[in-house]
Chain A
Amino acid sequence: MRAAALRYPALVIAATAFSLPTFWVLVTSVKKQSEFSSLRLFPSAPEWANYQLAITLADFARFATNSLVLATSYTVIVVLTSALVGYGFARHRAPLRDQLFVVVLAMMMVPNVVLFVPQFVLFAKLELTNTYWPWILWALGASPLLVFLFRQFFASFPRELADAAEVDGAGPLRVFVQIFVPNAWPAFAAALIFAYTWVWGDYLYPILLLNDANTTLAVKLATAYADPHGNPLQTVTMAGVVLYVLPLVVIFFVAQRFIIRGVVTTGLRG
């Protein structure tokens, strides 16, 4: 009983500690720049103009569009290929299938950095740097994590479902599209969000593969906004950060259930 009484104070303290840093970004984003370094903790009046400046000062729309185009093309392709591959592993028997699946799992564990260096050399030799092609190629090759997610999901479908359709003479692709896909939308939702979030949030591959013109919003926002004299404008930067994160937070609130189920599937059963 005594331990139970401590639960709520502990939860409140932990939740406060977790939220304070984020809360501070929101507060800073509506401060006047002159108030940033002053002793005044909270703004005298919310400075909404920071949000307008965040959009106009940095060509926000252009880099947001770059991010959107890159993330959307990657996501659509990678979810499609990963679903097909995951379905193959889950529902079709063939020689070497289990060995190949071990390779999928092993690739989830190979450090990305080890793979990226030779990939970078290949992309450079094929003159694919400064283009979005590397992401398209990665997507076409499916993502081991998403393959695993779909495989776990499709494996749990009842057998009779596919058998009935096959008896009716449907080909394998039709069985997949008409029977499995419509019943798998929680997995598709999780996969779409994972893939999209990954590209939207990634900083490293864009700085190494893209250039100033076609790079993503993440790269642009890594650098602070500055006034004409080169002094950093932290308040405007925070407004930009809020705008950048907002879509992901909205997606999270809409699809919380699927996201968490996806994290648990790929996390617990790896």
Chain B
Amino acid sequence: MVGATRALERPAVARPAWWRRRRTRRALTFYAFVSPWLVGFIALGAIPLVLALAMSFTNYDGLNLDYIRVVGLDNYARVAGDRDALLSLQRTLVFVGATVALGLVVQLGTALLLDGPVRGRGLFRTLFYLPYVVPVVAGAWVWKIFTDPNGGLLNAIVNVVDPGFAMNWIVEQPTTVLVLFTVWALTGGGMVVFLAGLQGIPSELKEAAQIDGAGSLAVLRHITLPLLTPVILFQVVVSMIWSLQIIQQPLLLAPGILRGPGTLPPQDNYLYIVHAYHEIFVQQRFGYGAALLWLLFLVTLGLTLVIVRSSRRWVHYEEAQ
């Protein structure tokens, strides 16, 4: 009551002043709450990004600042003559294409199979999701042992139809194993995203189509998939960006005994990012490596833009009512 009377007695001009004080207070509160991120972003985000860019114009070796020299765009020009960089980029694009395409089919396929009233839904969902929980080191072991030429199950299965079949998969077909490993590990995350997307599709639409005599495949093709295209676009972009950057998986799938970052995967799995890491942490070419990474960033950005642009033709957005 006291407060209300005082507010009434105050002249009208006092109100903006009161607002302004409150706004300042609110702004200060906001900045206090976000200060950990803000400080972290400056120290561990903005400054490193500037340093990474600056580094790429120098011959920095990661150790000694005495011999550092500005070399301009030399590092970037050198990439054109670096056979390892170009070949590894080519391999990376093949790997990313295969992983994204197969991953999409498997993620969407498992989600569609589990959509609706399915007996044992929880069990199946858990089985598809579990590999997503398995850390990369363990996942690499899963695939190494599964494809092992001596004690592996894969060759044993193939032997049922093709007796005498023997293949050392991680040596002879390393990229196949890498793609399977990556798709297997990623399915869980994509599947639950698609399942959530499928739940967002109004069931009246499907029922209406079924009453009109559409079979389940027709409903899938003309109702479900078009309405799911925004989620598909998102999932394609995210898995593309992610698979362009994978480095632990190829390093860990290398045959033999791993000795830190110095152990290189077989040539087929020598991806672009592996090359960049090798240049930086093994060859101590920090400047050149930084340039390689910025080029990868540009490639990522370019591919993302291409996909997003193409999406205008195939992504269906519901019109606002």
Chain A residues within 8 Å of B, Cβ to Cβ = 1, 3-4, 7-8, 10-11, 14-15, 18-22, 24-25, 27-28, 31, 36-37, 41, 81-82, 84-85, 87-89, 92-95, 97, 100, 103-104, 107, 109-115, 117-122, 124, 137-138, 140-142, 144, 147, 172, 176, 197, 200-204, 207-208, 218-219, 221-224, 232, 234, 237-238, 241, 244-245, 248-249, 252, 256, 260, 263-264, 267-268, 270
Q: Are A115 and B49 in contact (CB under 8 A)?
A: yes
CA distance A175 to B130 in the complex (A): 38
Question: Can you report 8 A-B residue pairs in the complex whose CB atoms are below 8 A from each other?
Answer: A14-B109, A22-B142, A84-B36, A85-B33, A141-B37, A207-B261, A244-B138, A263-B193
**Which one of B9-17, B89-97, B147-155, B305-313 is at the A interface?**
B147-155
Beta-carbon contact of B30 and A92 below 8 Å: yes
Q: Take A121-B286, A264-B196 as given contacts and tell me if A18 and B131 are in contact as well, using a CB distance cutoff of 8 Å.
A: yes
Find B44's partner among A11, A22, A113, A137 (CB 8 Å cutoff).
A137
Query: Do residues B145 and A197 form an inter-chain contact, with CB atoms below 8 A?
Result: no
Residues of B within 8 A of A (CB): 23, 26-27, 29-34, 36-41, 43-45, 47-49, 51-52, 55, 62, 106, 109-110, 113-114, 118-120, 124, 126-131, 133-138, 140-143, 145-146, 148, 150-153, 156, 184, 187-189, 192-193, 196-197, 215-217, 231, 234, 238, 241, 244-245, 247-248, 251-252, 257-261, 273, 276-277, 280-281, 286, 289-290, 293-294, 296-297, 300
Residues of B within 8 A of A121 (CB): 51, 55, 62, 286
CB–CB B294/A94 < 8 A: no
B136 touches A115 (CB 8 A): no
Residue in A94, A104, A138, A245 whose beta carbon sits within 8 Å of that of B27 in the complex? A94
Q: Are A14 and B128 in contact (CB under 8 A)?
A: yes
Asked if B118 contacts A93 (CB within 8 A), the reply is no
Cβ contact within 8 Å between A18 and B281 = no
Q: B138 to chain A: which residues have CB within 8 Å?
A: 25, 201, 221, 241, 244-245
Query: Among the interface residues A87, A121, A202, A218, which one has the most CB atoms of the partner chain B within 10 A?
Result: A121
Contact across chains for A113 and B128 when beta carbons are under 8 A apart: no
A142's closest neighbor in chain B, by CB? B37
Among A10, A141, A223, contact of B36 (Cβ-Cβ < 8 Å): A141
Cα distance A222–B32 when bound, in Å? Answer: 42
Distance to closest chain A CB from B148 (angstroms): 7
B196 to chain A, nearest CB (A): 4
- Is there an interface contact between B127 and A19, defined as CB atoms closer than 8 Å? yes
Given the interface contacts A84-B36, A203-B252, A264-B196, does A25 sit within 8 Å of B48 by beta carbon?
no
B41 touches A103 (CB 8 A): yes
Which chain A positions have C-beta within 8 A of B143? 21
Q: Beyond the given A93-B30, A118-B47, A122-B47, could you list 6 further A-B residue pairs with CB under 8 A, ordered by the A residue number?
A: A3-B217, A19-B130, A92-B27, A115-B44, A117-B290, A244-B138
Q: Whole-angstrom distance between the alpha carbons of A144 and B39 in the complex?
A: 13
B114 to chain A, nearest CB (A): 8
The total of Cβ contacts below 8 Å across the A-B interface reads: 270
Q: Report the minimum CB–CB distance from A99 to chain B (whole Å).
A: 12
Main secondary structure of the interface of B (DSSP, over half): helix
The answer to whether B30 touches A204 (Cβ under 8 A) is no
Which residues of chain B are within 8 angstroms of A114 by Cβ–Cβ distance? 49, 52, 293-294, 296-297
Complex Cα gap A197–B153 (Å): 28
- Give the contacting residue for B145; candidates A7, A141, A234, A244; CB below 8 A: A234
CB-CB nearest in chain A for B133: A252
In this complex, what residue of A is CB-closest to B38?
A100
Give the most central of B187, B192, B247, B251: most A CB within 10 Å.
B192
Nearest opposing residue in chain B for A107, CB measure: B45
Does the CB pair A94–B41 fall under 8 Å?
A: no
CB-defined contacts of B289 to chain A, threshold 8 Å: 117
Counting from the closest, the 3 A-B pairs by CB-CB distance are A141-B40, A88-B33, A201-B135
Q: Are B151 and A234 in contact (CB under 8 A)?
A: yes
CB-defined contacts of B134 to chain A, threshold 8 Å: 22, 245, 248
Q: Max chain A CB contacts within 10 Å: which of B41, B49, B110?
A: B41
If the complex has contacts A203-B248, A260-B129, A268-B234, are A11 and B124 also in contact, measured as CB distance less than 8 A? yes
Given A121-B51, A207-B260, verify A22-B193 contact (CB < 8 Å).
Answer: no
Chain A residues whose CB sits within 8 angstroms of the CB of B33 once the complex forms: 84-85, 87-89, 92, 172, 176
